[in-house]
């Protein structure tokens, strides 16, 4: 058997070995989700949220062609500050490794590497999904198919509101990925708390989510469990402002012929500029809330295996 190509940090390896809680964190939120220099401060804050709750953070990225599960300070700084860092999805991992690329991992790549390392809980901001006009462009995030075959519980504030949320939920149903609303029966839309779509299953606690994970395992199911965790309405982006900026952003992307991987960063940057920074604050609130819930789920999961 070939040795694992993953490099797991000492802290993450020790936590996994002893059965202590670990939460995976993606790195594209650092490299492409926030402007410099706020992104490095945000990355440190996200890890500290976990440490303060007795949970080991495992920020994941590819550094010089090596998939790393848990970054040291130099690795975190490199992902945040190096403008040459690219986005790496699951399909890109092998090529990035061969070519010695430094890349920030998307949801799909982070979930894949977390699963390979034995990490069961992953917190992020928003998921990728089916893009608007996908019937013409066939533009659909690799996040969806990746999550259909990776046994990781992913906490997010829904899919980004720039996407076709109803179509995304339909695809998740087809792919057999369970979606749980954390104390809600309505699916969130990232910046705003309610997308207008219902969720079939509502859960009330981290312990209940851990129990669902255990039953997924008992049934031999290999898909992710998606936990939708909306911000309270008092902390969401003003819905009226959101709708106006979204319409303008979509028109600008179409006018400038932005396509593929460039769409999401373009639209997020447009939001940051045209909400005068309000969307950035909401984005940070979303990440912190999801990481906090991820810590609770990972702790509940770890406690299930203890006497």
The catalytic residues are 26, 160
Give me 280's structure tokens: 């950035």
Q: Does residue 154 contact residue 111 with C-beta atoms inside 8 Å?
A: yes
φ, ψ dihedrals at 190, nearest 5°: 65, -95
Ranges of H-type helices in 118-194: 134-137, 142-147, 165-174
Q: Which residues of 155-186 are buried (b: 16+ CB within 10 A; e: fewer)?
A: bbbbbbbbbbbebbbebbeeeebbbbbbebeb
Helices (H) and strands (E) in the chain, counts: 13, 13
- The closest alpha carbon to 25, from 108, 109, 123, 106, belongs to 123
Strand partners, 59: 25
Q: What gap in Å lies between CA 37 and CA 302, rounded to an integer?
A: 35
Structure tokens at 3: 């040795």
Residue 195, burial from CB neighbour count under 10 angstroms (0-12, 13-18, 19+): buried
Closest CA to 36 of 102, 85, 106, 83: 83
Q: Which residues of 95-121 are buried (b: 16+ CB within 10 A; e: fewer)?
A: ebbeeebbbbbbbbbbbbbbbebebbb
């Amino acid at each position: 058997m070939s040795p694992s190509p993953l490099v797991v940090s000492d802290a993450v390896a020790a936590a996994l070995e002893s059965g202590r809680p670990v939460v995976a964190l993606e790195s594209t939120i650092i490299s492409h989700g926030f402007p410099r220099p706020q992104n490095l401060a945000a990355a440190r804050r996200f890890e500290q949220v976990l440490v303060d709750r007795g949970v080991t953070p495992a920020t994941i990225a590819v550094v010089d062609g090596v998939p790393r599960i848990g970054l040291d300070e130099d690795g975190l700084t490199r992902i945040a500050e190096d403008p040459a860092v690219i986005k790496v999805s699951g399909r890109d991992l092998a090529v990035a490794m061969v070519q010695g690329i430094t890349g920030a991992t998307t949801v799909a790549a982070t979930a894949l590497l977390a699963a390979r390392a034995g990490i069961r809980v992953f917190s992020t901001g928003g998921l990728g999904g089916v893009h608007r006009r996908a019937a013409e462009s066939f533009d659909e995030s690799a996040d969806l198919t990746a999550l259909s075959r990776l046994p990781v519980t992913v906490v997010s504030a829904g899919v980004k509101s720039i996407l076709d949320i109803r179509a995304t939920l339909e695809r998740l149903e087809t792919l057999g990925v369970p979606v749980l609303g954390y104390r809600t029966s309505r699916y969130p839309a990232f910046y705003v708390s309610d997308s207008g779509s219902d969720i079939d299953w509502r859960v009330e606690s981290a312990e209940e989510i851990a129990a669902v994970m255990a039953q997924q395992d008992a049934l031999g199911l290999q898909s992710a469990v998606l936990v939708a965790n909306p911000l309270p309405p008092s902390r969401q982006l003003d819905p009226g402002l959101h709708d106006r900026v979204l319409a303008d952003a979509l028109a600008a992307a179409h006018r400038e012929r932005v396509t593929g991987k460039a769409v999401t960063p373009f639209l997020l940057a447009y939001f940051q500029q045209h909400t005068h920074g309000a969307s950035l604050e909401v984005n940070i609130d979303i990440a912190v809330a999801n990481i906090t819930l991820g810590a609770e789920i990972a702790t509940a999961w770890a406690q299930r295996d203890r006497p």
